[in-house]
Structure 1
Amino acid sequence: MKPPRMGSMQARLTLLLGAIALLVSSVAGATLFWALKREVARQEITEASGKSELVEHLIDMQGGAGGLDELAAALDGMRAGHGHLGIWIEDGRGALLYGGEPPRILQALPGREVVLQAADGARLRGLRMPLDERLAPGGQLTVAVGTDAGARLLYAYGTALLLICALWVGATVMLAAWAVRRSMAPARRLSEQAARIQPDNLALRLPLQDTDRELHDLVRSFNRTLERLQAAYQQMEGFNADVAHELRTPLATLINGTQVMLSSPREAAELRDALESNLEVLEDLKTLVNDMLFLARADRGERAAELAPVSLAAEARRVAEFYEAALEERGLRLRCEGDAVAAANPGLLRRALANLVSNAIQATPRGGEIVLACRQTPAGARAEVRNPGPPIAPADLPRIFDRFFRAGAPHAARGEGHGLGLAIVRAIALMHGGGADARSDAAGTVVGITLRGPDRANITEK
């Protein structure tokens, strides 16, 4: 497996700025070169136009074909001082009257402009126009000037442009590398500060002061992530301590009871009683482990399966029948009222309602009445259990759904349950896309859950 490729933001920014500089300089250089080339061509055409006017003037002065020899002598004199000047005169049949070997037309441009190649290979630019009827009816006059001087100028100019562009791009890349490195310094400092955060100092946060505006959102998000991580880490430490506390007592009971049984010979009846007692402790531990595994699955985001439309009132009556003996023993009454339909797993829903009722039974004084109320809400279906027991302290109320939490005494002596009942209630609600809440005052305590309504899109048929 190949290692992942590590990109560099600094290198990408430097190359991007270099590419932008290359593009801009190329466009600017090409524009300047194109403008100069047009100007050189215009100057050549202007010169050829001036020469053609002079030739036409000389033709007018000769006044006819009989003066062709005098015209040729005048044209030879004009060309004597301009080695790059070409003049050709053709009659109506295409026969050459003056100029030597005719040139080859390379390009005919709009209007009368043409680009030519002379017999000696020289490149010329000029004008081709009809000739005066008095000299050669239907003839053509071609006047052109050499482009060598303009080509040499364009070559020198283009070479200078390329050199300047190369120096410009090189300087831009070096300056961009320096500027990007300097701009990335705050990110490197934040990275160094983040590297110093360890499990034993999760309270550290990245500073927002003197941080560039572009990094503020990143720093805030990182600090919020650290807060969640710190809370999760502290919760895990507390959870581990609570698990150790919960397991220590039953394990000590098993060890001590077994050591006592092994310390001397025992009758079969005594051994049987000891094994039955150990089995009760082991069953209790099994329940604790199963509850912890259930909560772990819920923490991983596991969703409730086999959802179906369920009547909360029907499940409430089943729970009430199950706790009938316990209620009678404690002298309590359980009243079910209302109804609602939710998309739920019936077994998980009954477990949540049973935990709520069990928690209320433990908190309600003898002779009290517990109410299990169900109703439909805009958010879905809600079930809540009200008990007239003593109010929960405001500091403890937000934590009653935490694992192993017992109001007023986090590590109280073991009684009924392990302090996981309400944590399981909240987990079941979350697995159904809902939530759990609680409120408490002098009139009593209300703990409830909200589940989604019977949305068919979320129901798995059996």
Structure 2
Amino acid sequence: MQARLTLLLGAIALLVSSLAGATLFWALKREVARQEITEVTGKFELIEHLVDMQSNARGMDELAAALDNMRAGHGHLGIWIEDSRGRQVYGGEPPVILERLAGNEVELHAPDGSRMRGLRVALDERLAPGAVLTVAVGVGAGARLLYAYGTALLLICALWVGATVMLAAWAVRRSMAPARRLSEQAARIQPDNLALRLPLHDTDRELQDFVRSFNRTLDRLQSAYQQMEGFNADVAHELRTPLATLINGTQVMLSSPRDAAELRDALESNLEVLEDLKTMVNDMLFLARADRGERAADRSAISLAAEARRVAEYYDAALEERSIRLRCEGDAAVAANPGLVRRALANLISNAIKATPAGHEIQLRCEPVAGGARVEVRNPGASIAPTDLPRIFDRFFRAGQGRGPRSEGHGLGLAIVRAIARMHDGDVDARSTAGETVIGITLRGQADKRAATSQDADAPSTRQ
């Protein structure tokens, strides 16, 4: 960029100097031509005055003598008089007319080979019938002046452009120094010191927006890197227990001869652990696809109340076992993927059942919102600590349990709920007060409620 800016400034200087030099040269050339014509005009007026004073042949001799004296005192002056037949009355061999300019102005090629500029005018019978007077001056002196001026102008322009390029290189390098310092500071940021930030103070105003944007990018990068490190640690922690179970159980089976029944029991136990690992891996793959921005496909108009009742039927046994009631209220239609919506509702209901004391009631409420629909699950039970509440949707997060073992599940349920919400352009929220927790999911997508809602969706239902 420094080289491009220097070259650009040099090109601008060259263009400006060329235009200025061409303008000055053109102006001087016009002035030289004007001076030459002015001189010719003065001589022509003097000759006309001399012609008017002559009235006979003797007078013509006197005129010739006066013209000779005039030419002698002016080395580059040319005077020619010719009659109507083209015969030279005065001046000797006639010049060759090269170009007729505006008015009576002409450019001539004199017999001695020099170029001249002058006037060619008829004398109106004052000297001889049809006589024509040509007065011209040589352009050699003006040409030499223009050549010297042009040479000096080119030299000055070359020096000026060269000086401009050198000064521009110095100025650009000096101006780019803050950017180079920022680049050097950015190069020092490594994975082991992501907390470093580019300094905003003592930074040029033009670079402050860039520094702020870069620091915000570093904030997101640091957050993602820390999340990845935490995720890797959580995955290792989650895999360690089932893998240890598989290894220990297999080692025990291989330590001594076993009968077929014992081996079958061991294989069935290992299969349960492997199925559990398979479920966790599939959930992690689903979350990875959601993180890459995958959108929900195969959307159709659905009734959230109908989907909630369908999911609740699956949990009838768990609800009855713990003497918990599930009450569904309201309804809302939304354009969504039915399978993903049922999966999100199942995770919300499953978490609510685990947290609700026996004999209490879980409330599931559906309601329309601008551009979509919202479902919230409200359950009584121990409240979630305010420090833990913002993180309950993180993967493998243990609310108030440190890194202790889980009794059931992998801790990915609410993370999957949030992923499903984002796949439907929505979001999740949670609040927890004394004795009650509410977790909600919002889905975006307009749908025709009449086509999506079942006939009994408006009536509240209770399951136990």
User: TM-score, normalised on structure 1?
Assistant: 0.93
Q: Residues 70, 307 of structure 1: CA spacing in aligned structure 2 closer, same or farther, 3 A cutoff?
A: same
| Offset from partner CA, 1:148-181 (integer Å, 9 cap, x none) | 0000000001001111111111111112112211
| Offset from partner CA, 1:385-414 (integer Å, 9 cap, x none) | 121222211111111110001211242321
Q: Residues 34, 325 of structure 1: CA spacing in aligned structure 2 closer, same or farther, 3 A cutoff?
A: same
Aligned partner of residue 262 in structure 1, secondary structure: helix
Given the alignment of the two structures, is residue 14 of structure 1 paired with residue 6 of structure 2, yes or no?
Answer: yes
Instruction: Report the counterpart of residue 3 of structure 1 in structure 2.
Output: none
Given the alignment of the two structures, is residue 356 of structure 1 paired with residue 384 of structure 2, yes or no?
Answer: no
Instruction: Report the counterpart of residue 5 of structure 1 in structure 2.
Output: none
Within a 5 Å distance, the mapping from 1:45-444 to structure 2 comes to: 45-63=37-55, 67-442=59-434, 444=436
- My pick for the range that moved more, 376-385 or 101-110, is 101-110
State whether residues 333 and 447 of structure 2, in contact with CA within 8 Å, keep that contact through their aligned partners in structure 1. Answer: no
Amino acid at match of 1:155: Y
Instruction: Report the counterpart of residue 460 of structure 1 in structure 2.
Output: none
Distance in 1 separating the partners of 2:410 and 2:378? 22
State whether residues 344 and 416 of structure 2, in contact with CA within 8 Å, keep that contact through their aligned partners in structure 1. Answer: yes
How far is the alpha carbon of 1:95 from its aligned partner? Answer: 4.1
Amino acid at match of 1:147: V
Q: Residues 65, 92 of structure 1: CA spacing in aligned structure 2 closer, same or farther, 3 A cutoff?
A: farther
Instruction: Report the counterpart of residue 26 of structure 1 in structure 2.
Output: 18
State whether residues 425 and 444 of structure 2, in contact with CA within 8 Å, keep that contact through their aligned partners in structure 1. Answer: yes
User: Which aligned runs of 4 or more in structure 1 are off by greater than 6 angstroms?
Assistant: none
User: TM-score, normalised on structure 2?
Assistant: 0.92
Distance in 1 separating the partners of 2:318 and 2:82? 129
Percent identical among aligned pairs is: 82
How far is the alpha carbon of 1:137 from its aligned partner? Answer: 4.1
Aligned residues: 448
| Offset from partner CA, 1:67-126 (integer Å, 9 cap, x none) | 333322221221122221111223345443322333233332223222222233211111
Distance in 2 separating the partners of 1:65 and 1:396? 129
Distance in 1 separating the partners of 2:434 and 2:248? 44
Question: Structure 1 unaligned runs (5+)?
Answer: 1-8, 457-462
| Offset from partner CA, 1:211-255 (integer Å, 9 cap, x none) | 111111111111111111111111111111111111111111111
Amino acid at match of 2:392: I
How far is the alpha carbon of 1:141 from its aligned partner? Answer: 2.1
